[in-house]
């Protein structure tokens, strides 16, 4: 299988480089990739030329504008990368009957209620980032291309910027931490997302339209940022990390204590039964992946 991977240096893109390798020939491009092999999603001409030249059977788009708060003041760029580039990739995929794999977010929902969101639930993004990601999803769905869209949440990895690493840094600098306890969701490892992607591509690369569509992809269980932070610190302590703040020094606060440019949904839980049933997968508990990444980070 010929696979074009975009966004190779992001959290998910980095893990995809590893997970996609056994599937075939992978051309992995990043934001800075230019010339013959253009990986900049805002360079529509370069991107189209690259797809035409490489002629992939699968396009995996792990690139995105992910700066949620900055998106409030950079709406144009957020839509260019998350919506317009997704539409272009869908068109390019449709032209050659390639499979397009794309990622979206729990932020397409308004965060109401307590129940994990299903794929068929009504959307209602509360910030610019969520609206730009939703428009990207819709462009792919209406393009007619074979596609897989994975909506995921609270991504972490050993590489890249994420909450797990922020908690470790803050706990090394401060005696006490305050963490939001009224937003609920599921931390999901970039490695789990990449491995699930590879397994799904294996089932679809033959050209079948069966199983195309949108799926919720998250680890099992749920937590709040507060309990997530406490878990990280308990594990980090057990692994011998020198910390000023222990898990007992974390104070719970409501979202209102941390006013940010972009409003976050309170309920980010995702129901993953469609993914599990369709691809016959088991999603591991979120703690397992976090513990692995902590071991990796702290053993460096």
**Contacts with ligand NDP, residue ranges (CB under 6 A):** 7, 9-13, 31, 39-42, 62-66, 81, 103, 105, 133, 152-155, 160, 190
Instruction: Kindly tell me which of 151 and 230 has the beta carbon lying closer to ligand NDP.
Output: 151
Instruction: Kindly tell me which of 66 and 196 has the beta carbon lying closer to ligand NDP.
Output: 66
E strand or H helix at 177: strand 177-180
> In the chain, what is the straight-line distance between the N-terminal and C-terminal CA atoms, in Å?
35
263 to 98, 185, 225: CA distances (angstroms) = 36, 15, 15
**Long-range contact pairs involving 226-230 (C-beta distance under 8 Å, separation at least 24):** 226/179, 226/180, 226/181, 226/250, 226/252, 226/253, 227/181, 228/154, 228/163, 228/167, 228/179, 228/187, 228/290, 229/163, 229/167, 229/177, 229/179, 230/179
Least distance in angstroms from the C-beta of 222 to ligand NDP: 15
CA distance 289 to 175: 26
Instruction: Kindly tell me which of 146 and 165 has the beta carbon lying closer to ligand NDP.
Output: 165
Least distance in angstroms from the C-beta of 109 to ligand NDP: 11
Per-state percent for the chain, helix, strand, coil, to nearest 5? 45, 20, 40
Least distance in angstroms from the C-beta of 236 to ligand NDP: 20
Least distance in angstroms from the C-beta of 34 to ligand NDP: 11
Least distance in angstroms from the C-beta of 275 to ligand NDP: 15
CA distance 145 to 97: 7
Please provide residue 239's backbone torsions phi and psi, each rounded to the nearest 5 degrees: -90, 5
CA distance 68 to 20: 28
Comparing C-alpha atoms, which of 31, 35, 24 is closest to residue 98? 24
Say how many CA atoms lie within 13 Å of 50 toward its Cβ: 25
- Residue 178, classed as helix, strand or coil, is strand
In the residue annotation, 103 being an active-site residue is answered as: no
Task: Give the strands of the sheet with 146-152, arranged side by side.
Answer: 25-29, 2-6, 58-61, 99-105, 146-152, 213-216
Instruction: Kindly tell me which of 14 and 226 has the beta carbon lying closer to ligand NDP.
Output: 14
Of these residues, 103, 129, 215, 226, which one is catalytic?
129
Instruction: Kindly tell me which of 156 and 226 has the beta carbon lying closer to ligand NDP.
Output: 156
Instruction: Kindly tell me which of 57 and 189 has the beta carbon lying closer to ligand NDP.
Output: 189
Least distance in angstroms from the C-beta of 72 to ligand NDP: 15
Enumerate the active-site residues.
129
């Amino acid at each position: 299988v010929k696979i074009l991977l975009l966004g190779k240096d992001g959290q998910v893109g980095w893990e995809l480089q590893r997970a996609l390798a056994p599937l075939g020939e992978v051309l992995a491009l990043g934001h800075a990739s230019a010339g013959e092999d253009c990986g900049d999603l805002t360079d529509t001409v370069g991107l189209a030329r690259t797809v035409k030249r490489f002629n992939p059977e699968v396009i995996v788009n792990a690139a995105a504008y992910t700066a949620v708060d900055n998106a409030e003041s950079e709406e144009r760029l957020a839509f260019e990368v998350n919506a317009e580039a997704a539409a272009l990739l869908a068109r390019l995929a449709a032209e050659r009957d390639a499979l397009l794999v794309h990622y979206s977010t729990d932020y397409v929902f308004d965060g109401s209620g307590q129940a994990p969101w299903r794929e068929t639930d009504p959307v209602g993004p509360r910030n610019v980032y969520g609206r730009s990601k939703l428009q990207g999803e819709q462009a792919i769905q209406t393009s007619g291309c074979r596609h897989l869209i994975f909506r995921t949440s609270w991504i972490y990895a050993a590489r890249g910027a994420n909450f797990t690493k922020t908690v470790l840094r803050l706990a090394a600098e401060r005696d006490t931490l305050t963490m939001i306890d009224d937003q609920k969701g599921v931390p999901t490892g970039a490695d789990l997302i990449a491995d699930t992607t590879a397994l799904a591509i294996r089932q679809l690369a033959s050209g079948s339209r069966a199983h195309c569509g949108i799926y919720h992809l998250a680890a099992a269980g749920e937590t709040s940022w507060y309990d997530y932070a406490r878990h990280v610190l308990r594990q980090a302590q057990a692994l011998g990390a020198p910390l000023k703040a222990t898990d007992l020094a974390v104070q719970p606060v409501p979202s209102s204590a941390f006013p940010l440019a972009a409003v976050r949904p309170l309920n980010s839980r995702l129901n993953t039964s469609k993914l599990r049933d369709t691809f016959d997968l088991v999603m591991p508990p979120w703690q397992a992946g976090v513990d692995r990444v902590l071991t990796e980070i702290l053993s460096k």
